[in-house]
Chain A
């Protein structure tokens, strides 16, 4: 990870059980500031491209709200590439331990591709909520830095249960 990259991990209250269950078999995309309670929700404008990208790479994905023509999307004009926020449940890591690793790799390669020839190396931002295997604990992982450091996020994921 480069010197100007940073990862912050914060313990947070676990999300509702039904939401954690929805994320049991797929990466669940959520609004930018989720799980904060807010009247209006906004997804990152990268959400639809990332969902398409992961589906094309056979990574199971879902979203908390329908992603359609009415979905409010935050579109920032900085060079930072802002990943859509997502929830990784402990059950997903148990059932499909490689899904997150593949997703992070696919996203990192994609961002590298779309910034080829740019004046500066792109910086990326990730906001990931992860629940423990029993759903009783949760953590918020916030990453900001170079694309090459994205894979470091994996090392901070809570351990999954061994599959019987």
Chain B
């Protein structure tokens, strides 16, 4: 196919073919090197799609830019899904969990960008099934509250309070969020069932036998010597994730 010229249906077809091919490699037992090859192919296609997206932006075609962003997010979701399997086999379980959440969140953004996606619901259901089967399940997560000020718009880089873009909406192939706010103070840290960021998980916890255990592997990690008398238990967890998904 001509690298410099393509219609959206042609690009959508390239996406469908690539993700169908990827699906063959989206399971634990596939060879990691072959999975990495698939990731590389998807990365190349994503580069091509982003090129067309910037072309659509230059041409002043916002609907096309949003559809291409939808495809870009779909590709990122599939890439994250493959990365999750590779990380699982490396024993890097928390990074694998993050990759799974990345995939889920990319699908959520893709749906907001455009409704044209084929197979999005099936893929999202697959991710949810994998989450239930592969990981131990989290009943609670950590969640922080902050007092913040200012910040910029991720779409136009103007001060967030001055532009017309609304948080969570896709404009011109980009997701609008508030970036770089000043954190004035941490207001609270809580444990919640429904956090905004499901990467903020418990990683180690005490189990009543005087040890901390890794929440994923359940292996003993260290003696619980820091427990104060009268404390029911203690845990180690992430309270804030500062890494951004690709939203541009």
Given contacts A69-B159, A116-B111, are A75 and B197 in contact (CB under 8 A)? Answer: no
Interface string of A41-64 (1 = CB under 8 A from B): 010011011001100100000000
Chain A residues with a Cβ under 8 A of chain B: 42, 45-46, 48-49, 52-53, 56, 67-80, 110, 113-120, 123
Main secondary structure of the interface of B (DSSP, over half): mixed
Q: Which of B155-189 contact A (CB under 8 A)?
A: 159-161, 164-169, 178, 181, 184, 187
Q: Flag if B145 contacts A76 (CB, 8 Å).
A: yes
A16 to B148, CA, bound (A): 28
Of all chain B residues, the one with the shortest Cβ separation from A123 is B194
A72 touches B184 (CB 8 A): yes
**Cβ B194 vs Cβ A80 within 8 A:** yes
Instruction: Give the distance to chain A from B112, nearest Cβ to Cβ, in Å.
Output: 6
Interface contact A113-B112, CB-CB below 8 Å: yes
14 residue pairs from A and B, CB less than 8 Å apart = A45-B148, A46-B167, A67-B161, A69-B150, A69-B159, A69-B161, A74-B146, A78-B195, A79-B192, A115-B108, A117-B109, A117-B111, A120-B194, A123-B194
- Please tell me if the beta carbons of B147 and A78 are within 8 angstroms of each other in the complex: no
How far in angstroms is the closest Cβ of chain A from B148?
5
Q: Return A76 CB to nearest CB of chain B, in Å.
A: 4
- Name B112's closest neighbour in chain A (CB-CB): A116
User: How many whole Å from A2's CB to the nearest CB in chain B?
Assistant: 15
- Complex Cα distance A73/B194, Å? 21
Q: What B residues does A56 contact at CB under 8 A?
A: 164, 166
Known A52-B166, A117-B109; 19 more pairs at CB < 8 Å: A70-B150, A72-B149, A73-B148, A73-B149, A74-B187, A75-B147, A75-B148, A76-B143, A77-B146, A77-B200, A78-B195, A79-B194, A79-B195, A80-B194, A113-B168, A113-B169, A117-B104, A117-B111, A117-B120
